[in-house]
Amino acid sequence: MNIVYTVDNKFVPQLATGICSICENNKEEDVCFYVVSKGITDDNKDALTRYVEKYGKKICIIELSNVKDYIDFDFDTNGWSSIVLARLFLDKLLPDDINRILYLDGDTLVLKDLSNFYNIDLGDKVLGMCPEPTVDKGRRKFLALGEVPYHNSGVLLIDLKRWRREEIGKKVIDFYKLHDGKLFAPDQDALNGALNKDIATLSISYNYFNIYCFIEC
């Protein structure tokens, strides 16, 4: 399994916790972690490497020097670190022989074995995402979603082989550019707006967060 994160140095404690949750619940699985870094210190990189290797897993830390090397227009991330945009061009950062990845936000906790989830059949869709319950009608209309669900970008199961073959990343970044690099939730809105008919909607159990507790009540 290829697990991908995009984080800066401030998020290393959360990242380490998330990695621990995967290692503890996937002890028999062959896992390689790819961490796209924005300024993670050498000490923290060394600590993460030792930690992952203790579990018999692999880790590759990829330093992203400048997001603008991949996005050639001005953008406003609306308060988010620009590292969130890296998930839009992971195909440019990861080894060419990787066919499927599971992207996780750095603060995601994994409570069970991931193998069944990782191997879900996406059918004719290029990626799988889970619904985002907090989106309002205005943003749905702005993104022209119609009846298509709006999805959360914190968990992305990506057919990276097809993503590359069909230049999906370019399609997403072009959508971002079309909106002058100004979207409310930059990476999330770009994915939903550009790929709304090419997203497999997955169960909320794969990206469950506390807002669902209030909805269920």
With residue 131 as reference, give the H or E element that holds it. Answer: strand 127-131
pLDDT digits (tens, 9 = 90+) for 178-188: 999 999 999 99
Share of the chain above pLDDT 90, in %: 89
pLDDT above 60: residue 212: no
pTM of the model: 0.94
Q: What is the pLDDT confidence band of residue 3, given thresholds at 50, 70 and 90? A: very high
> Which of the pair, 212 or 89, is modelled with greater confidence?
89
**Given this model, what pLDDT does residue 211 score?**
61
Contact 158, 89 (CB under 8 A): no
**Tokens representing 39?**
């300024």
pLDDT digits (tens, 9 = 90+) for 5-22: 999 999 999 999 999 999
Cβ-based neighbours of 97, under 8 Å, separated by 6 or more: none
DSSP letter assigned to residue 214: H
**Given this model, what pLDDT does residue 210 score?**
61
Contact 34, 40 (CB under 8 A): no
